[in-house]
Structure formats: structure tokens, C-alpha cells
Amino acid sequence: MAMTEVRRRLVFYIPGFDPFPPRRYRELYRREGAEQARLSGYELTLLPAPGGGRNAFEIASKMEGVAVSARYEVLPWHDLVRRAMPEGIGASYLQLLRTARVYIGSGALWPLVGLRKGPMIASFYPVAVLLAQLFTALVAGWLTFRLAAGWLPVWLAAGPGLLVVWGILHLCQRLDRRIFAHYLMHDFAYVARLRGAYPADLSARIDEFSAKIRAALTAADVDEVLVIGHSSGVHLGVSALSRLLAEGLPERRAELSFLSLGQAVPMVSFLTDATELRRDLRRLSAQDQIAWIDVTAPSDGCTFALCDPVAVSGVAPPDQRWPLVLSAAFTQTLSPAKRRSLRGRFFRLHFQYLCAFDRLPQRSDAYDFFRITAGPMTLRDRLGGRRPSAGRITRAASKYQSTAP
């Protein structure tokens, strides 16, 4: 097939479960893109988006001898995330109980554990930390109560004990920006709240994403529309594109591509009521209008690395074509010094797909986020000819495989 030279690209980036506004992704792209350009020897410049807009910016690049311009727009849902993150300490523990009941009670937990241990350790992490914090607070409160009971009436001694319990739990919550226990608990609880079904407000937002992508496909002088989903944003991207396919793509359109990064799709698709997502996975896997490349890394403990999200969910059709599952190969593309600097920083490592790699690969079709978003080749041309990575997992593991509405 003839290759399409890209001179103008529209990029739509769907972030994961993130309460922060889109500007953080602009600054991440600016910083890491400049570093990758320095290492790789190409030109990459960020400019304000025409007409303003807080969620978008322009990219001007020269790679492989071709000048390319791109508009990079973040599709936001941080307002919905904030709404799903209650501030009360008790709310986190209530979410813990409800989430455990959904995953354990439905039987979805054990297939997930058997699929990949990394993300399951990440899911047990907030449970273990929150329970350890509660235990510590209760022990400290009990000791305070016993001490106070020596010189106060019992009913008065309970006051200092309860105050200590509240104080320790409140301090732990304030420190959560460093340990992410409450944050991760909110993330898992959001998925489990409706047992994998989309809340009405999120489904409406996915419709907005789909409409924006459709409008971009027929924009003048656009060679590729690239949709990128990261982390929890992957299954939102799957559903947005599936809705486009269900309506029918415009006959005259730009190339449409989908890049999924660090996906955790099984955390949703394995739940009882995730029928819409499973149906969307099946639809997107069996068409040839949208190239879908899925990139994960085994050293990223927050992703179901090298798991084909369609196949492991048990909904792969006989004519499955996508996704092409590839490894970001952090052990090969990051220097030993860089890997040491990221050791123990699991959250930062989960964002490495969007960052610079300091060990340059020899192959021309290696994963490079900035060549993909600002280079002269479509995603299909750049990565679509590769073979799936060794170690790809395709066995159907989900207990629930229904796609019925």
C-alpha cells in the first residue's frame, strides 16, 4: 500500500482519571518534546493554538526532512473526575468497601489477578495503605484513650482518643499527593460504581469526543486525525471511536488512527455490566478503517502489559484485526541511569509513554511519541507493519463476555 505523507495532523489526547486541567499535558509535551528533539536531532516547536483555547496548542516540526504542523488538543473530563473524588476521609473508606464488594462479589477479581500481577498489586496498594492508616490511627487513638482515662472520666477520655484518630487520618489524606492511596481508591471506585457501565455524564462526554473527532475528519488540508488514549482514557477512546463507526465514517475524510497507551481495559471490561465497552472493543477490533496500535511496557506496573484488551475480555471475533500489541520496551529505550531514577516512582513510570527516551533505538519503526504525533508518517505507516511483541497475551480470561445491550 502507498504511504501517506502527513503535512498536517490533528491530535486528540484523552487523559486518564486525572483531576488536573489540560495545561499540565501541554507543559509535559513542551518539556519532554524539547528533550527528545535534542537527543534525536529533529526540530520541534510549540506555538499557541489559533483562536486561543486552553485545551489545545500547535506543533511545528521538521522530521525526516519534512515540515509538519499539528494541532494537539486534550479532550477533557477532569471535571467529572473531580466530582467523583469526595473530600471526606470516611468517603474513601466507604468507596473501599463498595469497590471490594463489586470486584470480589462478582468474581471479576481472580481472573484479573491471574492475568497480570503488576496492575493488581497497584489495585491492592490503596487498599493496603488505607487499611494500614486506619489501623495506625485506631491504635494511636486507643492508646490516647487509655492514657487519658487515667485522669479523666471515661466519657471524657474518648474525646482525645477520637481527636487523635481523626488527626492521623487527616494528615494521611493531606500527604496523599505523594503516596496516591486516596487518589487510586477514587479511580477504582469510579469504575466499580456502576459495575463497568458508563455513568450518564461520562457517556454524554464520550458523545462530545466522538462528535469532535467526526468534525475533524473532514477538515480541510488534514492528512491524519490521531486519537490517543492513555490509561483510563483508552477505554473512553475505544467507545468514542466505536460510536463513530456505528454511525458510519464520512466517505471523504482524513486518515483516522488510534494509539492506546498504558491501558487498563480489563479493570472495566471484566465487570458484569461493562457490556457496552465489550461491544465497542469487538466492533473496533474487526474493521479496517481505523488503525489501532496498543503500546504497553511490562515494567509499568499500572498497565495490563502486552494483554490484547479485546482477546482477554473474551470478545475477539474470528476476523479480529486490531489492536496491534507492541511493547514500549522501557528496558531497551531507557538508559540504566534513567531507569534507576524512575525506580519506585510507579506513577511517573506510567507516564513514560508521553516522555522522552534517552536510549535511541536502531529500528526506524520504534515507538517514539513525538515522531508519532509530529512526524510525516501516519500511525499505520509508522508502526502498522510490525509484528506483535513476543509475550502478547490473548487468552480469554474474563468471566463476563456478554455484549448484549
Ranges of each domain in the chain: 8-79+198-383, 85-192
Sheet of 224-230, strand order: 43-48, 56-63, 66-74, 8-14, 224-230, 255-261, 290-296, 324-327
Q: Are 198 and 273 in contact (CB under 8 A)?
A: no
pTM (2 d.p.) = 0.93
Name residue 369's beta-bridge partners.
none
Q: Are 250 and 214 in contact (CB under 8 A)?
A: yes
Name residue 9's beta-bridge partners.
70, 224
Each residue's pLDDT, cut to its tens digit, for the chain (405 residues) gives 567 789 999 999 999 999 988 889 999 999 999 999 999 999 999 998 887 678 999 999 999 899 999 999 999 999 999 998 877 788 888 989 999 999 999 999 899 988 887 777 777 888 888 899 999 999 998 898 888 877 777 778 788 888 999 998 888 888 877 777 888 888 889 999 999 999 999 999 999 999 999 999 998 889 999 999 999 999 999 999 999 999 999 988 999 999 999 999 999 999 999 999 999 999 999 999 999 999 999 989 889 999 999 999 999 999 999 999 999 988 888 999 998 998 888 888 999 999 999 887 766 778 999 999 999 999 999 999 999 999 999 999 999 999 987
Which CATH class, in words, describes the domain spanning 8-79+198-383?
A: alpha beta
